[in-house]
Structure 1
Amino acid sequence: MDVCLKKIQDGIIDGNAELVKNSTEQALMQGIDADMIIRTALIPTMEKIGKEFKAGDIYIPDVLMSSRAMHASLYVLKPLLIETNQSKKKGIVIIGTVAGDLHDIGKNMVSMILQGDGYDVIDLGIDVPAASYISAILRYKPDILAMSALLTTTIGEFKNVIQAIIDEGLRDRVKIVVGGGPVTQDYADEIGANGYGKDLFEAIEVANKLLGNKEGYFNV
């Protein structure tokens, strides 16, 4: 394996964003294309991290650092991916944390890995009211709306957003995926969501299944 690709892998595992960014730039200068970097360095490394996370061998802080390091590579590659892989884009995802909730670590990780998996992601941030989700749906025409809530006091906002979407006649235009600490599959079913991800890797799997994308970079 090329030295630069190995450095990218090591940097992601160690959560060293600067090393990953520099090594990605070096790989491109050496003539290694963006697709090769993703397929050879990013994919297998994130698959390994995903398996370790599911096995309980590593924890959220470790995954967050690795995700940020991976994102440093994607930041360098993004202009090239937009230019050369536009036809390969899987879909558009709007993501946000619901009104009243200021947590964003999980949302940010899902956003990063969705981008790495070939989706265009519009991140609305935290404390997002129903009206903002409606505006974003009308503007961006997403395939998926992903919402996060980390508090038992804010998960009820999912219902408000979904009802607002129904009231606007937009429900059949977008798939809705929910997640967060207090959320369960039963609750997702109760509020009429199309999917539920209990962790960031499952969220990617759900998105791929909903849109018929059987192969994903980070499906594990």
Structure 2
Amino acid sequence: MDQIIMEIQQGLVDGDAEYVKDKTEAALGLEIGPEAIIKKALIPTMDKIGQEFREGEIYIPDVLMSSRAMHASLYVLKPLLTKAMSHHKGKVVIGTVAGDLHDIGKNMVTWSLQGEGYEVIDLGIDVPPASFVAAIRKCQPDILAMSALLTTTIGEMRNVIQEVTDEGLRDKVKIIVGGGPVTQDFADEVGANGYGKDIFGAIDVVNHILGRGSGYFGTSEV
């Protein structure tokens, strides 16, 4: 068991999605349960990668590759985990604001939130305020998450929050913001409920706002 777990861990570090997928399937073939794979291989490795990212030892491309590798493992495990998860931890609508076509960070947060047990509705890129409002009405999410990677587009976050307020929906949803030029001061200024400095910060703030614990997958859902 230790050997196959170590191989999955190394595959995550290397960012080799196909290798991680194959090793996850192999672990299941050895009758290692999905919960054990998550708790022994995925969680500690992604925590370590997150810490290295925060300390500047690795960079966004490295994290992206590791996140994709994690997603490959989850793709194999999710059908088996469904039986063990009686309900989602919460619902999140996410999108990159109008005028901004960047989606790498948003996608990383989406994948990670899904891995954490959240239902995520991804609106994509270049999303106007009206579309965010329509999604809140239709999906009734717990969290609205917005991303912006340009200094010229972060102002759209203010516009979205204003339109959500004007439509009488502000008390229906918690709003978090993130992206390269976004800061805690900016989040406070526009009236967001939370700010994610990076992918790991985004996961932490969603878990914190909804009282779902912290870290990848929490501890009570697997």
Structure 2 length as normaliser, TM-score? 0.93
Structure 1, unmatched stretches of 5+, are: none
Matches of 1:86 and 1:49, distance apart in 2: 29
Matches of 1:26 and 1:133, distance apart in 2: 41
What SS does the aligned partner of 1:93 have?
strand
* Contact kept in structure 2, 1:107 and 1:148, CA below 8 Å: yes
Matches of 2:79 and 2:138, distance apart in 1: 23
What SS does the aligned partner of 1:100 have?
coil
Does structure 1 residue 160 correspond to structure 2 residue 150?
no
Mapping of 1:190-209 within 5 angstroms? Answer: 190-209=189-208
* Contact kept in structure 1, 2:141 and 2:173, CA below 8 Å: yes
1:168 Cα shift? 1.9
Q: Which residue of 2 aligns with 1:7?
A: 7
* Contact kept in structure 2, 1:47 and 1:218, CA below 8 Å: no
CA displacement 1:82-120 (0-9 Å, x = unmatched): 332133x32111111001100011111111221222222
Q: Which residue of 2 aligns with 1:52?
A: 52
Mapping of 1:160-179 within 5 angstroms? Answer: 160-179=159-178
* Contact kept in structure 2, 1:201 and 1:218, CA below 8 Å: no
Does structure 1 residue 75 correspond to structure 2 residue 75?
yes
User: How many matched pairs?
Assistant: 218
What SS does the aligned partner of 1:86 have?
coil
What SS does the aligned partner of 1:169 have?
coil
Structure 2, unmatched stretches of 5+, are: none
Q: Which residue of 2 aligns with 1:26?
A: 26
Q: Which residue of 2 aligns with 1:100?
A: 99
Task: Please identify runs of 4+ aligned residues in structure 1 that moved more than 3 A.
Answer: none
Q: Structure 1 residues 185, 92: CA separation in 2 closer, same or farther (over 3 Å shift)?
A: same
> 186-195 or 163-172, which moves further after superposition?
163-172
Matches of 2:140 and 2:179, distance apart in 1: 24
* Contact kept in structure 1, 2:47 and 2:215, CA below 8 Å: no
What SS does the aligned partner of 2:159 have?
helix
**Identity fraction in percent:** 69
CA displacement 1:13-55 (0-9 Å, x = unmatched): 0000001111111222222222111111100000110111111
Structure 1 length as normaliser, TM-score? 0.94
RMSD of aligned Cα (Å): 1.5
Look up the equivalent residue of 2:173 and give its one-letter code: V
Q: Which residue of 2 aligns with 1:126?
A: 125
